[in-house]
């Protein structure tokens, strides 16, 4: 960690700093999802007691019973937190004053016009303000556009009925979440943490807290820099994925396999980083964050043409996949309407149970609108849950037996889970549309494998 010059002299800041150092501070995590639970894991391992807050009573009840709903956090781990009183889950937001530090990990979606929707941040800030007490640290972790912490959240907190003042009575910072679900090499505790405060004391306290549980802390000069850092990270990925997606469409016309091209380019030991094409962008961050940045640019009287073009390319990838499917089925004298099509994988990436913003949902909607007889298989998502963005009928994952595969007109690989037996799939499915290059190592059956 870079050295932060101490601004703490006495009073509630000194008391909080002492609690953090002695690990007697209670850490509150607001939002018990794919970011919140790994944070709890990091802080409980560091010896802190955590209070988990979520407005979803089903999540709270599950945790209270020692059951996890996220694959990479086991139920045994959750049960250990509960039995050891390391975690107190609650849906009661009047208990927010019990925590010494409050880390906000709530969703930041887009609205219908693809503008930032900060309703969850705003509602959380109001709940905190209602019970705010001296000596609390509030850190926003949700991905958002620069100035959100200072210009959106802080004014709400400043309206607290006790008249408490930021930087004196309570403290505010921003530290972007950096989660890679399903990647065992990068846990919440093992990923360096960028931290920016709205003032020097808030920065120091936030760094002191995170340094107890996270491998490395990177202090930056302001909350705005920390917010912009996260947007840059995800926009970088979005733009490069758009590039390779556009090249895929071009190379398809030329009969060139884009996967072979990327693999060849990856042999260059400098100046190139591999990005891979797919049926669209998924996950909570990459499909959303660039639109936050382009919205912010419009407010500044600018247009971010490069970013908006990347978003346009990535957004149309599901349409490209369905168009290609229609072409390939047409070659066999079949329309999409009435064809039996099984989507393989509803998660947004391989080997996770995270379906947030998964392009598979858009593929499913488009297939149903075109009259396909749709099924899906995903070992990590046994049944489809309600989605804010998509309207699908209740469905359950089907087993990939030889008989089932043979009954399908096409198997569309949307997510390349390791658990899928690709040799079995290629052997028995009459036609495979592979959007992830998952069948590249299968011997034989290439005449019925199509790429999109």
Domain membership flag for residue 6 = no
Domain membership flag for residue 232 = no
CATH classification of the domain holding 257:
3.40.50.720
User: 10 Å Cβ neighbour count for 363?
Assistant: 26
Residue by residue, pLDDT tens for the chain (452 residues) are 444 557 777 699 999 999 999 999 999 999 999 999 999 999 999 999 999 999 999 999 999 999 999 988 999 999 999 999 999 999 999 999 999 999 999 999 877 767 788 999 999 999 999 999 999 999 999 999 999 999 999 999 999 999 999 999 999 999 999 887 767 777 778 899 999 999 999 999 999 999 999 999 999 999 999 999 999 998 899 999 999 999 999 999 999 999 999 999 999 999 999 999 999 887 666 667 777 778 888 888 888 888 888 888 998 999 999 999 999 999 999 999 999 999 999 999 999 998 888 999 999 999 999 999 999 999 999 998 766 667 789 899 999 999 999 999 999 999 999 999 999 999 999 999 999 999 999 988 889 999 99
CA dist., res. 261 & res. 256, Å (int) = 8
Give the residue among 281, 392, 412, 396 at the shortest CA–CA distance from 336.
412
Domain membership flag for residue 378 = yes
- Contact by Cβ (8 Å): 71, 352: yes
Beta bridge partners of 314: none
180 and 248 inside one domain: no
205 and 261 inside one domain: no
Domain membership flag for residue 230 = no
pTM score: 0.88
Give the total number of structural domains in the chain.
2
Which run of H or of E encompasses 296? helix 289-299
CA 414 to each of CA 105, 193, 245, 279: distance values in angstroms, whole numbers, following the listed order: 28, 32, 15, 7
- Residue 343's domain spans which residues? 238-451
199 and 250 inside one domain: no
Domain membership flag for residue 397 = yes
> Residue 111: what pLDDT?
76
CA dist., res. 178 & res. 62, Å (int) = 25
Which run of H or of E encompasses 235? helix 223-254
217 and 243 inside one domain: no
Residues with catalytic annotation?
A: 285
203 and 310 inside one domain: no
The residue from 194, 221, 248 where one domain ends is 221
75 and 206 inside one domain: yes
The residue from 163, 189, 221 where one domain ends is 221
307 and 167 inside one domain: no
> Residue 354: what pLDDT?
86
247 and 154 inside one domain: no
Domain membership flag for residue 405 = yes
CA dist., res. 103 & res. 53, Å (int) = 10
Distance of CA 30 to the CA centre of its chain: 16
Give the residue among 182, 61, 33 at the shortest CA–CA distance from 120.
33
> Residue 59: what pLDDT?
96
Domain membership flag for residue 273 = yes
> Residue 1: what pLDDT?
42
Give the residue among 316, 337, 344 at the shortest CA–CA distance from 449.
344
- In this structure, what token pair is assigned to residue 86? 């390391």
138 and 271 inside one domain: no
- 221 Cβ contact partners less than 8 Å away, ≥ 6 residues apart: 196
Domain membership flag for residue 379 = yes
259 and 204 inside one domain: no
300 and 244 inside one domain: yes
289 and 390 inside one domain: yes
- In this structure, what token pair is assigned to residue 205? 């306290």
Which run of H or of E encompasses 361? helix 359-369
């Amino acid at each position: 960690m870079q050295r932060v010059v101490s601004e703490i002299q006495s009073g509630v800041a000194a008391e909080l700093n002492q609690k953090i150092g002695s690990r007697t501070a209670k850490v509150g995590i607001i939002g018990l999802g794919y970011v919140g639970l790994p944070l709890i894991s990091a802080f409980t391992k560091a010896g802190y007691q955590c209070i988990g807050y979520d407005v979803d009573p089903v999540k709270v009840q599950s945790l209270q019973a020692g059951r996890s709903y996220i694959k990479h956090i086991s139920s045994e781990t959750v049960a250990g937190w509960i039995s050891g009183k390391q975690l107190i889950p609650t849906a009661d937001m009047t208990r927010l004053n019990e925590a010494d530090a409050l880390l906000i990990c709530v969703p930041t979606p887009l609205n219908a016009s693809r503008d930032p929707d900060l309703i969850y941040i705003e509602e959380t800030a109001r709940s905190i303000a209602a019970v705010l007490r001296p000596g609390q640290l509030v850190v926003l972790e949700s991905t958002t556009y620069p100035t959100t912490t200072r210009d959106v959240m802080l004014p709400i907190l400043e309206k607290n009925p006790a008249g408490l003042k930021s930087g004196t009575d309570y403290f505010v910072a921003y530290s972007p979440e950096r989660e890679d679900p399903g990647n065992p090499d990068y846990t919440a505790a093992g990923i360096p943490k960028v931290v920016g405060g709205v003032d020097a004391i808030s920065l120091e306290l936030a760094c002191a807290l995170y340094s107890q549980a996270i491998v490395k802390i990177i202090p930056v000069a302001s909350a705005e820099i920390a917010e912009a850092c996260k947007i840059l990270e995800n926009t970088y990925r979005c733009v490069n994925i758009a590039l390779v997606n556009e090249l895929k469409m071009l190379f398809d016309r030329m009969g060139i396999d884009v996967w072979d091209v990327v693999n060849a380019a990856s042999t260059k030991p400098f100046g190139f980083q591999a990005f891979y094409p797919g049926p669209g962008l998924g996950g909570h961050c990459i499909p959303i964050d660039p639109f936050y940045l382009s919205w912010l640019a419009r407010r500044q009287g600018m247009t971010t043409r490069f970013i908006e073009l990347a978003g346009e390319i990535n957004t149309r990838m599901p349409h490209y996949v369905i168009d290609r499917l229609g072409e390939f089925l047409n070659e066999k004298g079949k329309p999409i309407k009435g064809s039996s099509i099984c989507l393989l994988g509803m998660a947004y990436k391989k080997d996770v149970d995270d379906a947030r913003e998964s392009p598979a949902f858009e593929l499913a909607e488009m297939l149903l609108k075109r009259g396909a007889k749709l099924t899906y298989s995903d070992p990590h998502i046994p049944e489809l849950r309600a989605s804010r963005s998509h309207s699908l009928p209740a469905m359950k994952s089907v087993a990939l037996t030889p008989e089932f595969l043979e009954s399908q007109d096409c198997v569309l690989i949307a997510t390349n889970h390791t658990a899928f037996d690709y040799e079995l799939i290629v052997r028995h499915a009459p036609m495979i549309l592979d959007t992830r290059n998952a069948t590249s190592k299968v011997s034989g059956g290439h005449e019925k494998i199509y790429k999109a």
